Structure 1
Amino acid sequence: MSSIKEKDEHFAQVDVQHSEVLVNQDLMNDALDGENREHQMGVWDAVKKHPWACFWAFTMCFTIVMESFDMFLNGNFVALKAFQREYGVKVGEAWVIPTKWQSALFQSGQCGAFVGVFMAGPITNRWGYRWTTIFALILMNATIFISFFANSLTLLVVGQALEGVPWGFFIANSPAYASEIVPMSLRGACTATLQMSWSIGSIIVAAATYGYNKRDDQWAWRVPLALQWIFPTPLLILIFLAPESPWWLIRRGRKKEALRSIERLGADSTEHAQQSLAMMERTVEIEAQIGGTPTLLDLFKGTDLRRTAITCLMYASQNFAGNLIANQATFFFEQAGISPDRAFQLNLINSCLQFVANAISWFFTAWFGRRTIYLWGTATNITLLIILGICASVTQNTATSYAQAVLGILISFVFAGTLGPISYTIISETSSVRLRALSTAVGRAAYYVAEIPMIYLASQMLNTTGWNLAGKCGYVWGGTACVCWMMAYFFLPELKHRSYRESDILFNRKVPARKFKSTIIDARDNE
């Protein structure tokens, strides 16, 4: 921590020289060449020229695996027989975790993350993405001890809440960092790896809980908890070796370091690195003329209010299109009438299929626009959710139980291939560069504001001590997904193939969302 403070003091003493890029014709030509080269670069060409940028983006996004791991772990704990007998109450012949404790287990981590995301924005603006993430990884290592040694539901809930604080740092920084270090054509695929990290976490959890679900002692849940220690230390070492975002360095006036970062991220010549630097300086200078030092209040002023609203909508909507069924998949399968052992098997299959869907999403982001993927993915899940509700409303038998399970898997698959990954891409592209760290943090806070009551609602709908709706919850999630689709249709712009400068101009000109794709921006326009 002392080294971080020393580094921060050094940052504060840097004499920030304002860029002359807007008035110097040579620098302007470099900026134009840099932006044109990014526009002309295809996906595969960008991968070949910038493999290290892809690697560092994936490394940062992989920090999300820890939030995913814990989120899915709690969803599986409530279905573990040993955990139910230790902490549950008897309902008929079965032991169940009361609804209030189910909700507390699911919500405590999200409450901690809500605090974390608000801390992340200001700290990242001051320390940078690397040091902020390193600090969060150290904190993650420490807080896992509380959950692992917890001997009551109360202490386990406290442990989850404290673990949630570093989650907030990870989810706020990962999409912003990934979008800033890769070329324009790779922003979609690289930010989509956030959803893949969620799937990797769920696969590990599904495999661990399936392997331990037949144990009758405390190690049925303590071993999966201990597996969390696999991730923080290796990631900490990798993040320490990673380059800082050149956009952040330019905003701090550290142009020489920004140039070195650009070269490390894959610039194939000094000339191209200088052009990329000029392109970034141009955008940063345009935004600096609009507003000074970024603050949270800036997110709710002028055109940035619209951008913040879109970011919050994208994040919050992840909770309303059936994704919470995936988070409690094992318990959902059991409530649909599947045997416990088969429910854990289906959960593992579901997690693996989500990983496949994430890989497919990379191709979707290359072929289709962000708006198109989001609208069609949401429409598909609305249809599947309504069918799920109908299936749960008829006379129940083995066939209807498996039909509900299959529909739950399909809903998760569609989410993991469309809504989930493309939401992160939209979030990272919508905010201005100046406010990105703050915008992604506030957007994620909106996610938690929406998720915390929705977790309670999901537990209440599925639990036998609650409403016991099983697949009928499809009606509820189908209705909320319809609202998300309508909001996106009217307010979600298309930002594929747009540089950050072009995005700034489109928002500043107050172009309607449905005209973003067709509006032409001249290469020399600065406002």
Structure 2
Amino acid sequence: MLPRLLLAWAKLASTGQLGGFPTPPTRRASPKARKVDMDKSNTLADRNLLNDAVDGENREHQMGVWEAAKRYPWACFWAFIMCFTIVMESFDMFLNTNFVALKHFSKTYGVQTGPDSWAIPTRWQSALFQAGQCGAFVGVYLAGPITNRIGYRWTTLLGLVLMNATIFVSFFANSLTLLVVGQALEGVPWGFFIANSPAYASEIVPLPLRAACTATLQMSWSIGSIIVAGATYAYNGLDNQWSWRVPLALQWIFPTPLMILIFLAPESPWWLIRRGRKEEALRSIKLLGAKTEEQAQQSLAMIERTVKIEEEQMGGSPTLLDLVKGTDRRRTIITCLVYASQNFAGNLIANQATYFFEQAGIASDKAFQLNLITTSLQLVANIASWFLTSWFRRRTVFLWATATNVLFLFILGIVATVPQNSKTNYAQACLGVIISFVYAGAQGPISYTIISETSSVRLRALSTAVGRSAYYVTEIPMIYLASRMLNTTGWDLAGKCGYVWGGTATVTWVLAYFFLPELKNRSYREADILFRRKVDARKFKSTVIGVEEDK
């Protein structure tokens, strides 16, 4: 289904029916565009290499999305496979949030709160939700150095082996303590997957397809949540331990098939060039879809040019300290802020949807049904995001999506404040569905695109890892706050949490307005130049970069 949908999206976008942006044959400044006069760099003494690099970059700019999808189907496929590893983090995270809503799980490990009701104490809810993120925090910091040394493929394979092993701890756990330990161990390979997926996907596909292919990360989240919603709904009626152990066992369906596919995938040619393995990089470019030797050589030259410029202007082997030096500091801050913003725009309502629906006054069975509907709608929204990212620019999508959810979050708070009845309960549930739909169709997918495009090629593995760690640093206290707001043994705010998330989303919008640059239709060389020139974020779109400029 994915290839058909991707090709349909690409065809519509390239013909202009979706307002896509097919690039003209040459990059000319519009009358209002701001031109910055800079001397051409002598970085590349090899004129033939420079000519090939210019031709390769122009060819990517000239391709429409439909043409790119037809030329590079294998690049799209391998990008999707790498992004699909995120389904395991999504699966386990949503599984834990559904456990607290399973009646037998609460009865076994919780405390009695009424004649026929039990609840997992807030501290254990927070521990279950946070353990995996704590493990992933460790994993993302391990992923950067490991990836720089052995590559995206072997790092991901290592993570899949670890994933297979750590599932055993959670499956055989007989206490909340051991279950928390199991989640923390599973989190380490999650860190590998989330650090590598957006970077790898953005490096192997041509420029017109970067947004759609990196946006499939959000689709993987939705696929994982759909499987969890279906499994927990199916086993919710069981009054024994298998109501949660069977869903835990379902995690084993992912790692082994993915190990086989990732083993067969080509390594990123950008990583290979950074390691000086030119012949292997050329072979990867051909495997990813280059039709002729000339096209392959031009793509190789384009990569070599960008990597060489970065090495000469920024240094040799990358380290974590490089992320806070020079213009890379600004890029790191943007990456961290965009990742962290995912926790501040109401997304945590979607992550705890079943429990939120129950706290909003919806019966348990209907809450699980609503969760299944919500996750299915999120998948639809993810597919719609392919069209959205072709129609509008990154900054535009991010700002409007955040503003939309700010509005709905405050409406949610108001609905929860008025006297409650069955109508207000369903209104809160519907608003929760709408908020998760908007996030899954716009802010969530576009965040991964922005993250993958913002960092320099040289520091990409480290930058995506540190950016994701910012996500976990903010998510861990936010999960505790979300649990405290919803739990009947905590503040029991239900939909009134909309006021809190509406406030944090407003702060996110303000920061994005002033600091988020526009990188749609920009090559990695152009992005490097824009950051080195310290162009204002709101002027990235209008600044013109010549194809032979290196600084």
**TM above 0.5:** yes
1:489-511 C-alpha deviation (Å, 9 max, x unpaired):
00000000000000000000000
Q: Which SS does the other structure have where 1:418 is aligned?
A: helix
Does the 8 A contact of 2:274 with 2:458 survive in 1? yes
1:21/1:281 contact within 8 Å kept: no
Picking from 72, 91, 100, the partner of 2:123 is: 100
Name the residue aligned to 1:479: 503
Letter in 2 for 1:87: Y
Alignment counterpart, residue 183 of structure 2, candidates 160, 169, 193:
160
Which amino acid in 2 is paired with 1:212? Answer: Y
Q: Deviations over 1:374-411 (max 9, x none)?
A: 00000000000000000000000000000000000000
Cα distance in 2 between the residues matched to 1:318 and 1:124: 25
TM-score, length of structure 1 as denominator length: 0.96
Q: 1:21 to 1:263 in 2, by over 3 A?
A: farther
Matching residue of 2:27: none
Match of 1:190 among 213, 216, 221: 213
Alignment of 1:250-261 (within 5 A): 250-261=273-284
What is the rounded CA distance, in whole Å, between the counterparts of 2:64 and 2:359 in structure 1?
A: 47
Structure 1 partner of 2:11: none
Task: From 96, 100, 109, give the equivalent of 1:74.
Answer: 96
- Aligned equivalents of 2:165 and 2:249: distance in 1? 12
1:218 partnered with 2:247: no
Choose which of 414, 418, 421 in structure 2 pairs with 1:397: 421
Matched AA of 2:450: I
Residue in structure 2 matching 1:62, options 84, 92, 108: 84
SS in 2 for 1:79: coil
Residue 455 of structure 2 is matched in structure 1 by 431
Q: What does 1:7-26 align with in structure 2 at a 5 Å threshold?
A: 22-26=44-48
| Residue equivalent to 1:201 | 224
Alignment of 1:85-484 (within 5 A): 85-93=107-115, 94-290=117-313, 291-484=315-508
Code of the residue aligned with 1:171 in structure 2: it is I
**Secondary structure, in 3 states, of the residue corresponding to 1:90?**
strand
Q: Given the superposition, is the C-alpha separation of residues 21 and 56 from structure 1 closer, same or farther in structure 2, using an over 3 Å criterion?
A: farther
Distance 2:194 2:45 in 1: 38
How does the TM-score come out when normalised to structure 2?
A: 0.92
Which one of 51, 57, 73 corresponds to residue 51 of structure 1?
73
Question: What is the SS of the residue equivalent to 2:199?
Answer: helix
Corresponding residue for residue 492 of structure 1 = 516
Q: Counterpart amino acid of 1:134? A: L
One-letter identity of the residue aligned with 1:52: W
Q: Distance in 2 between matches of 1:289 and 1:487?
A: 32
Q: CA deviation at 1:24?
A: 1.0
- 1:249-292 Cα offsets, whole Å, 9 max, x none, are 00000000000000000001000000000000000000001221
SS of structure 2 residue aligned to 1:498: coil
The one-letter amino acid of 1:496's match is K
Please give the alpha-carbon distance, in whole angstroms, between the structure 1 residues aligned to 2:429 and 2:185: 33
Give the conservation status (yes or no) of the 8 Å contact 1:21–1:278: no
CA distance in 2, matches of 1:63, 1:82: 30
Aligned amino acid, residue 278 of structure 1? A
Output the CA distance in 1 between the equivalents of 2:345 and 2:97: 18
1:88-126 deviation line (CA, Å, top 9, x unaligned): 001123100000000000000000000000000000000
SS at match of 1:284: helix
Runs of 4+ in 1 over 3 A off after TM superposition: none
Cα distance in 1, alignment partners of residues 300 and 44 from structure 2: 13
| Partner secondary structure for residue 544 of structure 2 | coil
What amino acid is aligned across from residue 443 of structure 1 in structure 2?
G
Q: Contact (CA 8 Å) 2:43, 2:550: kept in 1 or not?
A: no
Partner of 1:39: 61
Contact 2:134 2:472 in 1 (8 A): yes
Corresponding letter in the other structure for 1:208: A
> What is the aligned length?
508
How far apart are the structure 1 equivalents of 2:220 and 2:50?
A: 39
Task: Map Cα deviations across residues 412-439 of structure 1 (whole Å, 9 max, x no partner).
Answer: 0000001100000000000000000000
Question: Does the CA contact (< 8 Å) of 1:283 and 1:501 recur in 2?
Answer: yes
- Quick one: which amino acid aligns to residue 281 of structure 1? E
Q: Which blocks of at least 5 consecutive residues in structure 2 are unaligned?
A: 1-41
**Does the CA contact (< 8 Å) of 2:141 and 2:465 recur in 1?**
yes
The amino acid of 1:332's aligned partner reads F
Is the CA contact 2:378–2:436 (under 8 Å) kept in the aligned structure 1? yes
In 1: Cα distance, 2:386 partner to 2:263 partner? 27
Q: Take 2:237 and 2:44, find their aligned partners in 1: how far apart are those partners?
A: 67
* 2:49 equivalent in structure 1: 27
Deviation, 1:21, is 7.6
CA distance in 1, matches of 2:487, 2:237: 22
Check the 8 A contact 1:506/1:516 in 2, yes or no.
yes
Which letter does structure 1 place at the counterpart of 2:58? N
Name the aligned partner's letter for residue 424 of structure 1: Y
CA contact (8 A) 1:324 1:458 kept: yes
> Deviation string for 1:65-103 (max 9, x for gaps)?
000000100010000001000000011231000000000
Note the alpha carbon deviations across 1:17-62, whole angstroms, 9 max, x for none: xxx9811111111000000000011111100000000000000000
* CA deviation vs aligned residue, 1:184-218 (integer Å, no higher than 9, x gap): 00000000000000000000000000000011000
CA contact (8 A) 1:32 1:523 kept: yes
- 1:11 is matched with which residue? none
Q: Is the 8 A contact 2:199 2:452 kept in 1?
A: yes
Amino acid at match of 2:385: S
* Alpha-carbon distance in structure 1 between the residues aligned to 2:285 and 2:121: 53
Alpha-carbon separation, structure 2, partners of 1:49 and 1:366? 18
Return the alpha-carbon distance in structure 1 between the equivalents of residues 225 and 67 of structure 2: 32
Distance in 2 separating the partners of 1:306 and 1:29: 31
Three-state SS of the structure 2 residue aligned to 1:95 is strand
Residue 17 of structure 1: aligned partner: none
Whole-angstrom CA distance in 2 between matches of 1:426 and 1:27: 29
Separation (CA, whole Å) in 2 of partners of 1:325 and 1:214: 24
Share of identical aligned residues, percent?
A: 78
SS state at 1:467 partner: coil
